[in-house]
Structure formats: C-alpha cells, structure tokens
Amino acid sequence: FFDTHFRRRAKNSLYPPRMNLLRLVAMKRLNPKFGHRKGSATLEFAVCLPILIMIVLGTVEACGMIYLKQTLCVAAYEGARGSVIPGATKSDIVQRCHTILSQRQVTGATIVVSPDDFESQPSQSWITIRITARASDNAYIGSVYSRAMVIGAEATMMKEYD
C-alpha cells in the first residue's frame, strides 16, 4: 500500500516524497522569506512577559487583600459573639480578636468596641466591634496602590442579658 501511494504521489509531484522534505529544509535556510521571523518570538515574549508578571502579582496582591478583609470580618464577628456572653469584659473581647488576628498573621490592627462601657449597658442594646488594619502592613508584595488603604470590618450584636 505505501509503495504504491508514494509512487503515485511521486508521479504527480515534481520531486519524490523524501526530496520534498529536503527541499523544505533547504528553502528555510536559503530563502529570506522563511528567515525573517527568527527573532519575532523572542520579541513577543519580551513584550508580553512584563505584562504577564504584572497580572500575576496583581492577582496575588488582590487575593491577599480579600483574605485580609475576610480575616477582619471573622475577628469582628467572633469579638461580637464574645461580647454578648454574660460577664464578658472589654479586655476579653480584644484578646479574642487579637487571637484570631495573630493566628492569621495580621499585623497593625486596631480594635474598637462601642459603646466603650458595654458591660453596664442595659439588655437589648447594640454592641459593635470595629477592626481596621493598614493594607501596606499586611501586603504580600507591597504595591503603590495599597500604601494609603485601610481595610476594616465591623460586626454588631444585641446584648441579651442584664
């Protein structure tokens, strides 16, 4: 089968099948039409690589900021849950929030409990825990965009005891 196929093909073409491959290799080496794209792949790579690196680093930084926001939300929620327990103090709430923040390696966080004297507030009063952190202190890469950014979260729960 193969011999007849190549013979038919050889009759229809100017060169035998093996010769076509050799001719193609020779044309690539000698013909200027085939050689003008030698450096184009390198140039395209050199142009696209910085853009790809910026996209990857920006994605990593954005994911880090989302993680920071979620951590602050979890810490504020846990602090608010701790504030509605009978006998809770402000130092207990702050310690509970700091524990979560330190486990997730968040630095420079500010925790505000309001009202400040929530222990003496009557039943069915709202207690708010607000936590903020600077993005630049918690950035993975440290970009220009996160220098002045402050990320915060708050949680509010109702006091159910006197």
Q: Are 121 and 91 in contact (CB under 8 A)?
A: no
Taking the whole predicted model, whether its pTM rises above 0.85 is answered as no
Are the C-beta atoms of 20 and 13 separated by less than 8 Å? yes
In this prediction, residues 67-75 reach a mean pLDDT of 96
d(CA 102, CA 68): 12
Burial class (CB in 10 A: 0-12, 13-18, 19+), 12: exposed
CB 76, CB 155: distance < 8 Å: yes
User: pLDDT per residue over 73-128, tens digit each?
Assistant: 999 999 999 998 888 899 999 999 999 999 999 999 999 999 988 888 888 899 99
